[in-house]
Structure 1
Amino acid sequence: MRVDTDRFLADLQALRRFGEFRTGVHRPTFSPEDMEARHWFISRLREEGLEAEIDGIGNILGRSPKPGPHLLAGSHLESQNEAGWLDGALGCVAALHLAAAGLPVDVAVFSDEEGHYGSFIGSRSFTGLLEEAEIDRLANRYHGKPLREALREAGLEGRPRLAVERDRYKAFLEMHIEQGRQLEKGGLGIGVVTGIVAIWQWKMTIEGQQNHAGTTTMAERRDAGLAAVRLLAMIDEEFPRHCAERTVWTAGRIALTPGAPSIIPGRAEILFQYRDVDIEVLRRLEEVLRRCVAESNRRERCTATLEALSLSTPAVSDPALQDALADAAEALAPGRWQRMPSGAGHDAQYLARVMPAAMLFVPSINGISHHWTEDTKEEDLALGMRVLAEGARRILAG
C-alpha cells in the first residue's frame, strides 16, 4: 500500500476551484458549482477504477472492484455559504485516495450535510431514514426553493436513491478538519474522535404585555425582553455547575415582538441549544433548564414555556476502530495525537447507526471553520492522509 500524498493534495486544490470564493468556497447544495464538483469527483473515482454513480438525492457512491472485506469512507462536497475549502471536501478526497492506494474501499459523498435543504438528507437517505414525504416538504432555508425543484434542476429527478449494503462493509471512516483549536493549541497533528456530540435544541417562549415604552411605569411593566435576558443569565450561571468538560451551550436566536424601540416587548422567543457526547450530561442539563424556567415563572410577571425541538443521540465511535486509528497515529506521529470528541455533527453519526464508524481529525488553523479563511497546513493534511490509510489497513487486517 502506498499513499501518494502529493496527488492527494493536488486533488484537494483542484476541488477548491469549484465555487472559489476568496480563499474558500461558496458551493451551496445543488448549486451549479456543487454539481460541477460532484461530476468532477465522479470522473476521478472512475479514473481510479471505481464504479461510480450519483443517485436521486445527490449522493455519490464509488464501488471498489476489489474483493472484500470492504470499508466505506467519505464525507460531503457542498459548503456553507462563503465558507471553507476543506470542510467535507477533505473527507471525500481522503476516501478517494484510500481506494487509489489499493485498499478495498468504497467512496461515499453524502449530499447536503450542511443543511441547506434539511438535516443530513444524504446520509439519512443512504441509511434509510429519509422518507419521500419529507423530501416533498423540504425547501431551501435561505431562498425557499423546494427540494423537488432543486433536484429537477440538478438533473437528479427520477433517479433511484442508493441504500447502504450493510453486509458489504466492515466499517465507515471519515476524516475531517477539527473546526476548533484543541489540536493546534496542543501542538498536535492528529485527533482520534471518541464520539460525536448530540445537539439538544429548545425553544423558550416568554409571554408578557406589549405596551407603550413612555407611559407605562417600570412597576407596571410585563417586559418579555428583560425576562428573557434574566432567564438566559440564570441558565448561564447554573449550567457550569452541572456540565461536563466539553459541554457547550448557545442562545442562537432571540426575537422580540414587535421589535420596535418605543414598544415594550410583549413576547420573546429564544432558540437555545447545548451539546455533549454523554447522554447523562444532556439529561442532567435538561433538568437544570426546566428548573430555570420554573424559577423564572416564580420570579417574573411574564410566563415562560419550554418546548423541545430536537433531542438527538450521541454517536460513540467504535472502540476497536478508535484503537486502530490510535495505533496508526502513534506509529506515524508518536506523541503528536490525542483522543477527543467532536463538537460538530458529521455524516458519520448516521453511518454509526448501521455499522461501526470512526473519525480522524486534523488541525484547523486558528480553529476557524464555516468561514472562507478556514485552512490547514499541508503537512498536517498529508499526515492525516497517511494515518487514515495506515488505520484503514490495520482495520482490514484485524
Structure 2
Amino acid sequence: MQVDTDRFLADLKRLREFGAFKTGVHRPTYSPVDMEARHWFLSRLREEGLEAEMDGIGNILGRSPKPGPHLLSGSHLESQNEAGWLDGALGCVAALHLAASGLPVDVAVFADEEGHYGSFIGSRSFTGLLEETEIDRLANKYHDKPLRDALREAGLEGRPRLRAEPGRYRGFLEMHIEQGRQLEKRDLGIGVVTGIVAIWQWRIVIEGQQNHAGTTTMDERRDAGMAAVRLLAAIDSEFPRHCAERTVWTAGRIALSPGAPSIIPGRAEILFQYRDVDIDVLRRLEEVLRRCVTESNRRERTVATLEALSLSTPAVSDPAFQDALEAAAEALAPGKSLRMPSGAGHDAQYLARVMPAAMLFVPSINGISHHWTEDTKDEDLALGMRVLAEGARRILAA
C-alpha cells in the first residue's frame, strides 16, 4: 500500500479551482460549477480504475474492482456560499487516494450535505432515508428553486438513486477538517472522532401586547421583547449547571414583531438549539429548557410556548474503528492525536445507521470554517491522509 501525498494535495488544489472565491470556493449544490466539479471527480475515479457513476440525486459512487470486503469512504463536494475549500472536498479526495493506494475502498460523494435544498439528502438517499415525496416538496432555501427543477437542469432527472449494497462494506470512514481549535491549541495533528453530536432545535414564541412605546407605562407593559431577553438570560444561567464538557447552545435567531423602535413588541420568536453527543445530556437539557419556559410564564405578563423543531440522534463512532485510527496515528505521529467529538453534523452520522462508521479530523487554522479563509497546513493534510490510509489498512486486516 502506497499513498502518494503529493498527488493527493495536487488533486485537492485542482478541485479548489472549481468555483474559486478569494482563497475559498463558492460551489452551491447543483450549480453549473458544482456539476463541473462532480464530472471532473468522476473522471478521476475512472482514471484510478474504479467503476464510477452519478445517480439521480447527484451522488457519485466509485466501486473498487478488488475482491473481498470493502470500506466505503467519502464526503461531499458542494460548499456553503462563499466558504472554504476543504470542507467536504477533503473527505472526497482522501477517499479517492485510499482507493488509489491499492486498498479495496469504494468512494462516495454525497449530494447537498450543506443543505441548500434539504437535510443531508445525498447520504439519506444512499441509506434509504429519503422518500420521493420529500424530493417533491424540497426547494432551495436561498432562492426557492424546487429540487425537481434543479435536478432536471443538472441533467439528473430520471436517473435511479443508488443505495448502499448490503454486505459489501466493513464500514465507512470520513476525513474532515476539525472546524474548531481543539487540535491547533494543543499542537496536535489528528483527531479521532468519538461521535457526532445531535442537534436539538426549538422554537420559542412569546406573546405579549403590541403598544405605544411612549405612552404605555412600564408597569402596564406586556413586552415580548424584554421577556425574551430575560428568558434567554435564565437559560444561559441554568444550562451550565446541567451540561457536559462539550455541550454548546445558541439562540441563532431572535425576531421581534413588529420590529419598530417606537412600538413595544407584541411577539417574539426565538430559534434556539443545543448540541451534545450524549442523549442523556440532551434530555436533561430539555427538562431545564421546559422549566425555564414555565418559570417565565409564572413571572412575566407574557405567554411563552415551546415547540420542538428537530430532535436528532447522536451518532457514536465504532469503537474498533476508533482504536484502529488511534493506533495508526500513534504509529505515524506518536503523541499527536486526540479522541474528540464532532460538534458539527456530517454524512457519517447517516452512514452510521447502516454500517460501522468513524471519522478522522485534521486541524483547522484558527478554527475557521464555512468562510473563505478556511485553511489547513499541507503537512497536516498529508499526515491525515497517511493516518487515514494506515487506519483503513488495519480495519480491513482485522
- Counterparts in 2 of 1:132-147, with a 5 A limit? 132-147=132-147
SS of equivalent residue, structure 2 residue 218: coil
The one-letter code of the counterpart of 2:173 is L
Counterpart residue number, 1:123: 123
- Matching residue's letter, 1:118: G
C-alpha displacement at 1:310, in angstroms?
Answer: 0.3
Deviations for 1:83-140, whole angstroms, at most 9, x for unmatched residues?
0000000000000000000000000000000000000000000000000000000000
How far off is 1:38 after superposition? 0.2
AA matched with 1:135: I
Shift of 1:214: 1.1
1:9 counterpart = 2:5: no
Alignment of 1:221-260 (within 5 A): 221-260=221-260
Q: What do residues 171-226 of structure 1 show as CA deviations (whole Å, max 9, x unaligned)?
A: 10000000000000000000000000000000000000011111111111100000
Determine the structure 1 residue equivalent to 2:49. 49
Query: What is the alpha-carbon distance in structure 2 between the residues aligned to residue 333 and residue 290 of structure 1?
Result: 46
Amino acid at match of 1:328: A
Q: CA RMSD in A?
A: 0.4
SS at match of 1:176: strand
CA contact (8 A) 1:325 1:391 kept: yes
Output the CA distance in 1 between the equivalents of 2:210 and 2:131: 42
Indicate the residue corresponding to 2:173 in structure 1.
173
Cα deviations by residue, 1:323-377 (Å, 9 ceiling, x for unpaired):
0000000000100001000000000000000000000000000000000000000
Deviations 1:7-39 (A, max 9, x none): 000000000000000000000000011000000
CA contact (8 A) 1:191 1:339 kept: yes
Write the distance in 1 (CA, Å) between the matches of 2:32 and 2:216. Answer: 55
Q: Report Cα offsets for 1:270-298 as digits up to 9, x if no partner.
A: 00000000000000000000000000000
Q: Which SS does the other structure have where 1:388 is aligned?
A: helix
Matched with 2:79 is 79
How many angstroms apart in 1 are the aligned matches of 2:74 and 2:67?
Answer: 19
Offset from partner CA, 1:212-264 (integer Å, 9 cap, x none): 11111111110000000000000000000000000000000001111111111
Corresponding residue for residue 39 of structure 1: 39
SS at match of 2:219: coil
Quick one: distance in 2 between partners of 1:254 and 1:134? 28
8 A contact 1:227–1:302 mirrored in 2: yes
TM-score after normalising by structure 1: 1.00
- Corresponding position of 1:95: 95
Partner in structure 2 of residue 30 of structure 1 = 30
- Give the aligned residue type for 2:273: Q
Shift of 1:68: 1.6
Aligned equivalents of 2:211, 2:162: Cα separation in 1? 56
Question: In the alignment, what sits opposite 1:353?
Answer: 353
Measure, in 2, the Cα distance between the counterparts of 1:4 and 1:115.
32
Could you tell me which residue of structure 1 aligns to residue 67 of structure 2? Answer: 67
Mapped to 2, the partners of 1:213 and 1:30 lie a distance apart of: 48
Report if aligned partners of 1:16, 1:85 keep a CA contact under 8 Å in 2.
yes
1:45 to partner: Cα distance: 0.1
| In 2: Cα distance, 1:386 partner to 1:333 partner | 10
- Where does residue 284 of structure 1 map in the other structure? 284
Matches for 1:159-308 after TM superposition, within 5 Å: 159-308=159-308
DSSP 3-state at the match of 1:219:
helix
More deviation, 342-351/163-172: 163-172
Paired residue secondary structure (1:321): helix
**Contact 1:70–1:169, Cα closer than 8 Å, also in 2:** yes
* DSSP 3-state at the match of 2:232: helix
Counterpart of 1:376? 376
- Cα distance in 1 for partners of 2:387, 2:130 equals 33
Does the 8 Å CA contact 1:72/1:107 hold for their aligned counterparts?
Answer: yes
Distance 1:381 1:120 in 2: 25
CA contact (8 A) 1:166 1:355 kept: no
The DSSP-based 3-state class of the residue aligned with 1:283 is helix
**Contact (CA 8 Å) 1:203, 1:269: kept in 2 or not?**
yes
Q: CA deviation at 1:53?
A: 0.3
Q: Is the 8 A contact 1:77 1:109 kept in 2?
A: yes
Distance 2:19 2:330 in 1: 37
Task: State the distance in 2 between where 1:171 and 1:158 align.
Answer: 29
Q: 1 CA distance for matches of 2:101 and 2:40? A: 20
Report how many residues are paired: 398
**Equivalent residue letter for 1:299:** R
Is the deviation greater in 182-191 or in 212-221? 212-221
Q: Give 5+ residue unaligned stretches, structure 1.
A: none
Cα distance in 2, alignment partners of residues 31 and 178 from structure 1: 26
Q: CA deviation at 1:166?
A: 2.4
Structure 1 Cα separation of the partners of residues 56 and 86 of structure 2: 25
